[in-house]
C-alpha cells in the first residue's frame, strides 16, 4: 500500500541568496525550510506555522511557486507546495529570535547561485542556479 504525505516549503530569497536548512540527523544535503501539514491545516497555514516553529519569524506568505511530487525509496508518495516568502530580509535575524523547534535544524545557511552545495530537490536547485525561481507562473516539478 502506498502512503502519501503533504508538505509545505518556503522559498526565502534576499539579495539573490536563498535560505536553506540542514535538518537534524546527520544529513548531507540542504533543503528549503518547512514541514508536514497537520490535520485540518492548509498548505499556506502549514508554512506559516513551520517557519515560526523552526526559524522564529512570522512569514509574509506570497505566491505558490512550485508543486513538487516524488516517490521515495520506502514507496511514500510526497506532494510539496513551495511558497514565496516576501519578507526575506527579516530572516537575516533568525539567530537572534526564540524558536520552539530549533532542535529540528542543524544549520541555517544563505546560498548563492555559485555555491557548490547539495540542495534538494535537485530540480529546484537547478531552477535556482539558472535564475528562474521567481517567475509569474506556478510550475510543477517531478522527482
pLDDT of residue 74: 85
Strand partners, 1: none
pLDDT greater than 70 at residue 111: yes
The DSSP line for 76-96 is EEEEEEEEEES-GGGGGGGGG
- The residue with greater pLDDT, 138 or 94, is 138
The DSSP line for 8-60 is EEEEEEETTEEEEEEETTT-SSEE-SEEEPPTT--HHHHHHHHHHHHHS----
C-alpha atoms less than 13 angstroms from C-alpha of 61 in its C-beta half-sphere: 20
Label residue 119 exposed, middle or buried (CB < 10 Å: 0-12, 13-18, 19+). Answer: buried
pLDDT greater than 70 at residue 4: yes
pLDDT greater than 90 at residue 28: no
- The residue with greater pLDDT, 80 or 93, is 80
C-alpha radius of gyration, the chain, whole number:
14
| CATH numbers and ranges of domains, the chain | 3-142 (3.90.79.10)
Average pLDDT, stretch 14-29?
Answer: 89
User: Which pTM does this prediction carry?
Assistant: 0.93
Interval 44-65: pLDDT, tens:
999 999 999 999 999 999 999 9
Strands 61-71 and 76-85: antiparallel
Banded model confidence at residue 73, pLDDT cuts 50, 70, 90: confident
> Is 43:8 a contact under the CB 8 Å cutoff?
yes
Q: What are phi and psi of 104, to 5 degrees?
A: -80, -15
Amino acid at each position: 500500500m502506498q502512503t502519501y504525505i503533504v508538505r509545505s516549503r518556503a522559498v526565502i530569497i534576499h539579495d539573490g541568496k536563498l535560505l536553506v536548512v540542514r535538518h537534524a540527523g546527520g544529513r548531507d544535503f540542504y533543503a528549503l525550510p518547512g514541514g508536514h501539514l497537520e490535520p485540518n491545516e492548509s498548505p499556506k497555514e502549514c508554512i506559516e506555522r513551520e517557519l515560526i516553529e523552526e526559524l522564529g519569524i512570522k512569514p509574509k506568505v506570497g505566491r505558490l511557486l512550485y508543486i513538487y511530487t516524488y516517490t521515495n525509496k520506502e514507496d511514500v508518495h510526497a506532494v510539496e507546495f513551495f511558497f514565496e516568502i516576501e519578507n526575506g530580509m527579516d530572516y537575516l535575524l533568525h539567530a537572534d529570535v526564540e524558536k520552539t523547534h530549533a532542535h529540528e535544524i542543524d544549520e541555517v545557511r544563505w546560498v548563492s547561485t555559485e555555491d557548490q552545495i547539495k540542495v534538494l530537490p535537485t530540480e529546484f536547485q537547478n531552477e535556482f542556479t539558472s535564475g528562474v525561481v521567481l517567475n509569474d507562473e506556478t510550475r510543477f516539478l517531478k522527482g
